[in-house]
Amino acid sequence: MQIFGVDIGGSGIKGAPVDLEQGELATERFKVLTPHPATPDGVADGVRQVVEHFDGPCDRVGITFPGVVTGGATVRTAANVDKSWIDVDARALLSEKLGGLPVTILNDADAAGVAEMQFGAGRGRKGTVLLLTFGTGIGSALFVDGTLVPNTELGHLELNGHDAEKHASTKAKEDHDLSWEHWARRVQKYLAHVEMLFSPELFIIGGGVSRKAHKFLPLIKHIKAEIVPAELQNNAGIVGAAMTASRAA
């Protein structure tokens, strides 16, 4: 069975067929820019472009969404895409755009966490593990003894009177031209707040910035939990989406 994973982000939509035995992309991923405004039809067209880029059969598609998804279908929040997504049956819309292919949809950080817990930095870890993805926003995936607590969306915790992701995301670093040292202090403050609430044994730091973990993780102090970079880096969402689709088959 050939299963694709597609990761919808605030800036890009990327995907690839996935080798589910190895937990890695079966071929180089393909990416298109997220349309602006990121309306349901526009984003769904982007997903279709990604899937149609690849030759060969596709049996199922797992798709991530940057927001809360309930019942495996319905979008409830849309912080970094157009608000017209709210209450849309994303599974039905995306399946229709893909010619009736079976579609599985879940929160983007949850998908990344699923992949990291099986194939990456969380492999074999019990207790409370929290994956945080830093990018356009901050995504979160919370696991208790390997079981996912879905749709936590901890990037929207209040910090300094605003959503934490407005203060500590990678986009905030870029928008305000922050040094690694300055941004690391913001991330540290955010991690301390989350640690106070959930007391995880392990933080896994994901998203595109995980490729540069050596530039900022050593600067983060006074956090009791172990902090490690994601091993699947920015491919984790694609892999986790495909894994979730395979389990629904």
Beta bridge partners of 144: 128, 147
CA distance 81 to 92: 18
Strands (E), 20-102: 24-25, 30-33, 60-65, 69-70, 74-75
- Determine the pLDDT at residue 196: 97
| pLDDT tens track for 185-213 | 999 999 999 999 999 999 999 998 999 99
Query: Hey, do 3-110+236-248 and 121-230 end up sharing a CATH topology, with the first three levels equal?
Result: yes
As a residue count, the chain comes to 249
Task: For domain 3-110+236-248, give the fold.
Answer: Nucleotidyltransferase; domain 5 (3.30.420)
If DSSP codes are grouped into helix, strand and coil, which group holds residue 240? helix
Nearest-angstrom CA–CA distance, 141 and 152: 7
Q: What is the model's pLDDT at position 55?
A: 86
The pTM (predicted TM-score) of the whole model is: 0.95
Start-to-end CA span in the chain (Å): 10
Quick one: pLDDT at residue 249?
78
Cβ distance 58 to 51 under 8 Å? yes
Quick one: which of 14, 94, 106 has its CA closest to 66?
Answer: 106
Residue 215 pLDDT grade (very low, low, confident, very high; cuts 50, 70, 90): very high
Residues of the chain above pLDDT 70, percent: 100
Given this model, what pLDDT does residue 1 score? Answer: 86
Quick one: average pLDDT of 10-35?
Answer: 96
Q: Could you state, in order of their start, the residue ranges of all structural domains in the chain? A: 3-110+236-248, 121-230
71-83 tens-digit pLDDT: 999 999 998 899 9
Task: From the options 3.40.640.10, 3.40.50.720, 3.30.1280.10, 3.30.420.40, give the CATH code of 121-230.
Answer: 3.30.420.40
Tell me the per-residue pLDDT of 100-129, one tens digit each, with 9 for 90 and over: 999 999 999 999 999 999 999 999 999 999
